Amino acid sequence: MPQLEIGLNRESNSPSPYALEAQHVSITYWSKHKRVEALKDISFAVKPGEFLSLIGPSGCGKSTLLNALAGISRAGVELDGEIRRPRHQVLGYLFQKQTLLPWRTVLENMVAPLEIRGVPKIERRNKGLELLAKYGLQGFEHSYPSELSGGMQQRVLLIRTLIYQPDVVLLDEPLSSLDAQTRVLLQDEFLRIWRDTGCTFILVTHDLEEAIVLSQRVFLLGVRPGRLVREFSIPLPSDRSALTIRTDPKFQNLQREIWQDLFQSLVGIYAQ
């Protein structure tokens, strides 16, 4: 079995105009019995402050790509090519199906990343309480995750991802378990955070409508092996609202056009 490739995920020495760059990235999983070519020759660049979404069928390598962008590598995963990001860049990553620690209160969960970084207790508490109030969760600081609704838990996870002010936020299907109304409210929250912070967002979603509501660009990935099939530009204003944009004729035209393209691409993918 090949050894884990280390050092391919580089922090660039020379200044780069991009927040993230993938250059000819291929990823293979190895086990005793099986070799899975998860991603093949993926190249793209993300500008600072951009909102990018990745969509594609289950198993096409979306989570694998986010892990690679985050620099997460381990035994049994072989990465060819290069991921480049600026030196000292801070990354926030909300994993697929990530959950809160059930034995910790909301506040303790939220400030865990600050604890790991050695931020003093009083400072952590103050920052946590400030964010709880900002995100409409005041009064729940001493609650346990099981006492919160699904939407509230996702909000706490999101705050935990943002608490150390990342430059780049990676979100892997953060809203997929929520009901339609809560999703729209949190989508609006994402847009507000994106505008307020100027962070670069990379979102994985199964939902084309969600990708259009939130993004400036949408990448479609194909399966076996996962590769970039199409790129769609979303020329909607950055001050859009997730609550109202869906009724805008521009949104509806875009959705119709992309759906037709997407459908053709998917037919092509499955015909192979």
Ligand X SMILES: Nc1ncnc2c1ncn2[C@@H]1O[C@H](COP(=O)(O)OP(=O)(O)OP(=O)(O)O)[C@@H](O)[C@H]1O
Interface residue list for Mg ion (CB under 5 A): 62-63, 96
Whole-number Å distance between alpha carbons of 170 and 45: 15
Do the Cβ atoms of 226 and 40 come closer than 8 Å?
yes
Strands (E), 119-204: 168-172, 200-204
Looking at beta carbons only, is 39 or 186 nearer to ligand X? Answer: 39
Q: Which residues bind ligand X (CB under 6 A)?
A: 29, 36, 38, 58-64, 96
Looking at beta carbons only, is 95 or 251 nearer to ligand X? Answer: 95
Whole-number Å distance between alpha carbons of 252 and 210: 13
CB of 57 to Mg ion, least distance (A): 11
- Residue 64 interaction partner, one of ligand X, Mg ion, none, beta carbon < 5-8 Å per kind: ligand X
- Residue 38 interaction partner, one of ligand X, Mg ion, none, beta carbon < 5-8 Å per kind: ligand X
Whole-number Å distance between alpha carbons of 109 and 139: 15
Q: Nearest to residue 35, comparing CAs of 66, 77, 74, 79?
A: 77
CB of 30 to ligand X, least distance (A): 8
Strands 20-30 and 35-46: antiparallel
Looking at beta carbons only, is 42 or 163 nearer to ligand X? Answer: 42
Q: What is 66-90 written as a DSSP string?
A: HHHHTT---TTEEEEEEEEEETT--
CB of 64 to ligand X, least distance (A): 3
CB of 58 to ligand X, least distance (A): 3
Helices 150-162 and 121-134: crossing angle in degrees, nearest 10, is 130
Looking at beta carbons only, is 59 or 139 nearer to ligand X? Answer: 59
Backbone angles phi, psi at 36, to 5 degrees: -115, 120
- Residue 9 interaction partner, one of Mg ion, ligand X, none, beta carbon < 5-8 Å per kind: none
Looking at beta carbons only, is 62 or 227 nearer to Mg ion? Answer: 62
- Residue 58 interaction partner, one of ligand X, Mg ion, none, beta carbon < 5-8 Å per kind: ligand X
CB of 99 to ligand X, least distance (A): 16
Pair of tokens at residue 266: 């998917």
Looking at beta carbons only, is 9 or 63 nearer to Mg ion? Answer: 63
CB of 172 to ligand X, least distance (A): 7
Pair of tokens at residue 63: 């989570």
Residue with nearest beta carbon to Mg ion: 63
